[in-house]
Amino acid sequence: MKALMIAATALVLAAPVTAQQTTGAPAGNFKLTDMTGKTVSLSDYRGKTVVIEWNNPGCPFVQKHYNSGNMQTTQGAAKGMGAVWLTVNSGAPGKQGYMTGAEAQAFVKTSKAVPTAYLLDPKGVVGKGYGAKTTPHLYIVDPAGKLVYQGGIDDKPTANAADIAGARNHVTAALGEMKAGKPVSVAETRPYGCSVKYAD
């Protein structure tokens, strides 16, 4: 029976992302090319906690967290707790935020970001499948492949960097609870930022 349950879970993870993800349910697997041309799948990190961040460098809300260093600090804290950090860009060609692999590499280097991988989703298949609405929009997948958090990076939905100091960082809070063996107390919040610039 246990083997049957494991096989069923594996089938769910192998299925393509086709609908908005539900907190508490298995996260849909996906496969994208990273900024260096390497193929990366969510299933590559089975057994690890994975944070997924939707990114658009041209968005003022993204700039709030990158220009202040808050996103990079959050990435570093996550990785320090053993998590994998996947940044996804679903901007379509010709739209704000779209980047080639070389442009993404330049952004990561210039901003001193520390994702495990920066993934390119120009057709928006993964973004739409996950229901990513804004940049930034954050998701956390636990080591068993279950989605345990989705929403904003924090509880201050503004583009003002001065608000970061008094904000509750939902991502680091969730990761800390997971590290302590506790359930995530705030599993879903309203994402805020610019709309993801999908293809028409």
Domain boundaries, the chain: 2-195
Calculate what percentage of the chain has a pLDDT beyond 90.
87
Q: Which residues contact 69 (CB under 8 A, 6 or more apart)?
A: 112
Q: What is the mean pLDDT of residues 50-62?
A: 97
What is the mean predicted confidence (pLDDT) over 126-149? Answer: 96
pTM for the full predicted model: 0.89
Which backbone phi and psi does 12 adopt, to 5 degrees?
A: -65, -45
CA angle, residues 17, 114, 145, in degrees to nearest 5? 30
Residue 46 has pLDDT above 90, yes or no: yes
User: Is CATH 3.30.420.40 the right assignment for the domain spanning 2-195?
Assistant: no
DSSP state of 29: B
